[in-house]
């Protein structure tokens, strides 16, 4: 790993980083037995022949920091992926099973913009937007339906935003309220082979709410409400011969509530 930072002045700086990393297959990606992640979902079988993936990563980042905590940053990045691991489909007695394979190589490049701004006293807004272009090269003797496509699992657009209110009441007491939004753009969930189209997860919008209160140095309380929108997560598959898309899976995580208390000695 190489990290360089050049400070133009107290507020402006440039950062450059380069690294080589390893992506190792997980246990479920290699385990050669059939299983389901959840009821009604596609069956999955691991591939014991998977190889490690190796990545070259380059990032160039500009940062502007203000004394009041406001900041803006712009990052350009490029990644070269050697033998990336992808989730694929395979045919088994007329049914479809998902598995995992190594592609030859791929690349990812994009731009990320992050802004943090104090709107009024104790109220802050943060926004992070990322656009990414990916492309993968496939084995010439493979049975992939599409010979050129984006990388499996990579969303071209990602958006994160948070609105935070954190007033203090004396030295020890503090209230923290946060509304958190996330957008994950449409992405390939499973790669199509042998004439099957790619299965794509449609765009997912998520809204969470977090609250916390410190009563004193020792006692605090936290409240978390996840998935306020309760939007369905939808998967659609391309049908190459007709040019249409059909829905193959849909589920909802559902809104859930968590309450916690803690005491520090």
- Render pLDDT for 144-153 as a digit per residue (tens, 0 to 9): 777 778 898 8
Burial of 232 (0-12, 13-18, 19+ CB in 10 A): exposed
More confident residue, 183 or 147: 183
Go through 133-158 and write b for each residue having 16 or more CB atoms within 10 A of its CB, e for each that does not.
ebebebeeeeebbbeebbbbbbbeeb
Q: Retrieve residue 20's tokens.
A: 């080589």
- According to DSSP, the residues that pair with 89 across neighbouring strands are 98
Q: Retrieve residue 26's tokens.
A: 């997980």
pLDDT at 93: 63
How far apart CA 129 and CA 113 sit, in angstroms, is 5
Q: How confident is the model at residue 42 (pLDDT cuts 50, 70, 90)?
A: confident
Q: How confident is the model at residue 190 (pLDDT cuts 50, 70, 90)?
A: confident
More confident residue, 148 or 52: 52
pTM of the model: 0.83
Cβ atoms of 231 and 251 within 8 Å: the answer is: no
pLDDT at 90: 75
Model confidence pLDDT, tens digit, residues 123-152: 999 999 999 999 988 776 667 777 778 898
How far apart CA 180 and CA 50 sit, in angstroms, is 37
């Amino acid at each position: 790993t190489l990290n360089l930072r050049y400070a133009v002045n107290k507020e402006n700086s440039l950062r450059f980083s380069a690294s080589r990393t390893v992506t190792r297959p997980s246990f479920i990606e290699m385990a050669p037995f059939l299983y389901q992640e959840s009821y009604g979902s596609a069956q999955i079988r691991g591939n014991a022949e998977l190889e490690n993936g190796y990545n070259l990563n380059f990032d160039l980042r500009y940062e502007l920091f203000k004394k009041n905590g406001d900041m803006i940053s712009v990052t350009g990045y490029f990644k070269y992926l050697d033998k990336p691991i992808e989730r694929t489909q395979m045919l088994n007695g007329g049914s479809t099973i998902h598995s995992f394979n190594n592609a030859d190589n791929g690349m990812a490049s994009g731009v990320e913009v992050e802004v943090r701004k104090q709107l009024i006293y104790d109220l802050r807004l943060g926004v992070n937007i990322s656009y990414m272009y990916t492309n993968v090269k496939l084995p010439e003797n493979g049975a992939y339906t599409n010979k050129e496509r984006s990388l499996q699992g990579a969303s071209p657009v990602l958006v994160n935003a948070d609105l935070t209110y954190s007033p203090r009441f004396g030295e020890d007491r503090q209230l923290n309220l946060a509304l958190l939004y996330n957008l994950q753009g449409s992405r390939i969930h499973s790669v199509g082979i042998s004439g099957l189209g790619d299965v794509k997860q449609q765009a997912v919008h998520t809204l969470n709410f977090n609250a916390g209160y410190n009563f004193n140095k020792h006692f605090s309380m936290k409240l978390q409400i996840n998935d306020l929108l309760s939007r369905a997560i939808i998967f659609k598959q391309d049908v190459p011969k007709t040019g249409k898309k059909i829905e193959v899976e849909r589920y909802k995580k559902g809104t859930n509530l968590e309450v916690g208390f803690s005491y520090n000695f």
